[in-house]
């Protein structure tokens, strides 16, 4: 049995990163220049970004079950572990919601401006008309219930997957996981839209888009796959995951490539239709971003679409760990910037800064996320022992 040991060096690194995050939080609390909105909007940014990575990994896991995919079995433990951050990320998002609810009684200095007198038609008619869906109790209820079901189903699937290694009679467990995955995909496909509206789209309360949920969905999926790739390469460098070879990395690289193209497709079609129709209450979304976040906006778009399109198109780069690590890391940063401009224009407006607080908090969450993932990787044998498609996966080549 091969176990990953969470070495003290790796532990120290994550502790240092988490310490930086704590310093950033204290700095944010004490510094008078950092408003409450900016303070909590960054919490929402990190919470959402890392929750989405975990959700993407869990979706990817269910997809492998439902598609009866064979090749991915040898990296199964990695994407299962990446999904383990989900409860912590959900708690962060819930915390921002609760703080916004409490502060909304007295102040408009909050992330979700609609919560402040949002249901009063004299205050904002457009938001008041949405109050059947967008009211504080219902939003909190949805977050708790949907988040709870996601965490529960993901835990059940991982538990069964670990049990499969301990028994010789593993086929029934596999089929149970297959059924759970099918239900999870249907449930997730619908509820993910709701949560994308509630957590992200509701920040720009007067704006709405039917495509936004899919756009967020693709972002989840992509970042989940990228993080899986990075952890797989890390574990292989440690001499683990002996069955994983360039063929498996090729398939993961294909996912990175394909989902980046899908991301560009969804982003561009949102943009093009707005540009073409030029309807004021739609265009306001891109206007706020292009006018005041111009640099982030164009860098983010060009890098997220063109970098994987150009570099990951050939077979050789997808089979090369170095390329995957460099491209994956750059894509994670630019998708973080993408998430930054989902949240900031609607909450803090035009006065944005990326300073010590933002970077420190991001590093803190990276440390926290890595700690959670590595410690759950260390808990179970890293090599899958019993799986109906294990042989197929070991001999996979393309």
Stretch that binds another protein, among 86-94, 107-115, 265-273, 385-393 (CB under 8 A): 265-273
272 binds another protein (CB under 8 A): yes
The interface region with another protein, picked from 20-28, 194-202, 271-279, 357-365 by CB under 8 A, is 271-279
DSSP state of 238: T
Q: Which stretch binds another protein (CB under 8 A): 144-152, 216-224, 225-233, 266-274?
A: 266-274
Per-residue burial over 145-161, b = 16 or more CB atoms within 10 Å of its CB, e = otherwise: ebbeebbebbeebbebb
Question: Binder to another protein among 278, 280, 295, 316 (CB under 8 A)?
Answer: 278
| Total number of residues that touch another protein (CB under 8 A) | 8
If one asks whether residue 286 binds another protein (CB under 8 A), the answer comes out as no
User: Considering the complex, what minimum distance in angstroms separates the CB of residue 174 from another protein?
Assistant: 24
> Does 280 contact another protein by CB under 8 A?
no
Residue 21 or 308 having the CB closest to another protein: 308
Q: Which is nearer to another protein, 279 or 350 (CB)?
A: 279
| C-beta of 116 vs 289, nearer to another protein | 289
271 is an interface residue for another protein by CB under 8 A: yes
Instruction: Give the range of 62-70, 118-126, 131-139, 270-278 binding another protein by CB under 8 A.
Output: 270-278
Residue 137 interacts with another protein (CB under 8 A)?
no
CA dihedral 83, 85, 91, 92 (to 10 degrees): -120
Closer residue to another protein in complex, CB, 26/272: 272
- Could you say which residues in the range 307-366 bind another protein, by CB under 8 A? 313, 315
What is the spatial distance between Cα 302 and Cα 334, in angstroms, rounded to a whole number? 10
Closest of 371, 341, 335 to residue 354, by C-alpha: 341
Measure the CA–CA gap between 356 and 344, rounded to whole angstroms.
Answer: 16
Contact status: 298 vs another protein (CB under 8 A): no
Q: Quick check: 268 binds another protein (CB under 8 A)?
A: yes
Considering only CA atoms, which of 354, 345, 82, 59 is closest in space to residue 195?
A: 59
Alpha helices in 67-170, H assignment, sequence order: 76-82, 86-104, 125-129, 136-164
Tokens of 116: 């402040």
Contact predicate 115/100, CB 8 Å? yes
Instruction: Indicate whether 210 belongs to the interface with another protein (CB under 8 A).
Output: no
Pick the piece of the chain touching another protein (CB under 8 A) from 87-95, 267-275, 321-329, 354-362: 267-275
Nearest residue to 204 via CA among 101, 102, 118: 118
Among the listed residues 136, 325, 342, the one whose alpha carbon sits nearest the alpha carbon of residue 220: 342
């Amino acid at each position: 049995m091969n176990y990953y040991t969470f070495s003290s060096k790796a532990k120290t690194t994550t502790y240092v990163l988490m310490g930086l995050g704590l310093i950033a939080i204290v700095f944010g609390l004490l510094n008078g220049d950092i408003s409450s909105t900016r303070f909590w909007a960054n919490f929402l940014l990190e919470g959402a970004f890392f929750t989405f990575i975990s959700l993407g990994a869990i979706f990817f896991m269910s997809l492998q079950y439902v598609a009866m995919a064979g090749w991915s079995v040898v990296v199964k433990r990695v994407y299962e572990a990446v999904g383990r951050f989900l409860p912590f990320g959900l708690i962060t998002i819930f915390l921002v919601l609760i703080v916004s609810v409490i502060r909304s009684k007295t102040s408009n200095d909050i992330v979700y401006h609609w919560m402040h007198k949002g249901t009063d038609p004299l205050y904002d008619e457009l938001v008041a008309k949405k109050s059947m869906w967008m009211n504080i109790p219902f939003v909190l209820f949805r977050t708790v219930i949907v988040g709870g079901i996601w965490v529960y189903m993901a835990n059940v699937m991982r538990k069964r997957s670990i049990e499969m290694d301990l028994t010789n009679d593993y086929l029934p467990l596999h089929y149970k996981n297959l059924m759970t995955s099918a239900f999870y995909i249907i449930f997730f496909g619908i509820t993910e839209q709701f949560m994308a509206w509630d957590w992200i789209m509701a920040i720009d309360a007067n704006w709405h888009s039917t495509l936004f949920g899919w756009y967020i969905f693709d972002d989840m999926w992509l970042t989940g796959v990228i993080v899986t790739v990075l952890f797989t390469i890390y574990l292989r460098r440690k001499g683990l995951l002996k069955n994983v070879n360039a063929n498996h990395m090729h398939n993961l690289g294909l996912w990175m490539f394909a989902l980046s193209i899908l991301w560009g497709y969804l982003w561009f079609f949102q943009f093009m239709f707005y540009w073409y129709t030029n309807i004021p209450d739609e265009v306001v979304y891109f206007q706020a971003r292009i006018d005041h976040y111009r640099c982030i906006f164009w860098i983010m778009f060009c890098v997220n679409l063109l970098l994987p399109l150009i570099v990951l198109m050939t077979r050789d780069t997808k089979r090369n760990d170095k390329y995957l690590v460099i491209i994956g890391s750059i894509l994670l940063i630019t998708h973080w910037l993408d998430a930054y401009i989902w949240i900031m224009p609607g909450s803090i407006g035009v006065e944005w800064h990326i300073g010590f607080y933002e970077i420190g908090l991001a590093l803190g969450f990276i440390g926290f996320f890595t700690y959670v993932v590595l410690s759950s990787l260390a808990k179970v044998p890293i090599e899958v022992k019993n799986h109906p498609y294990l042989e197929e996966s070991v001999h996979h080549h393309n």
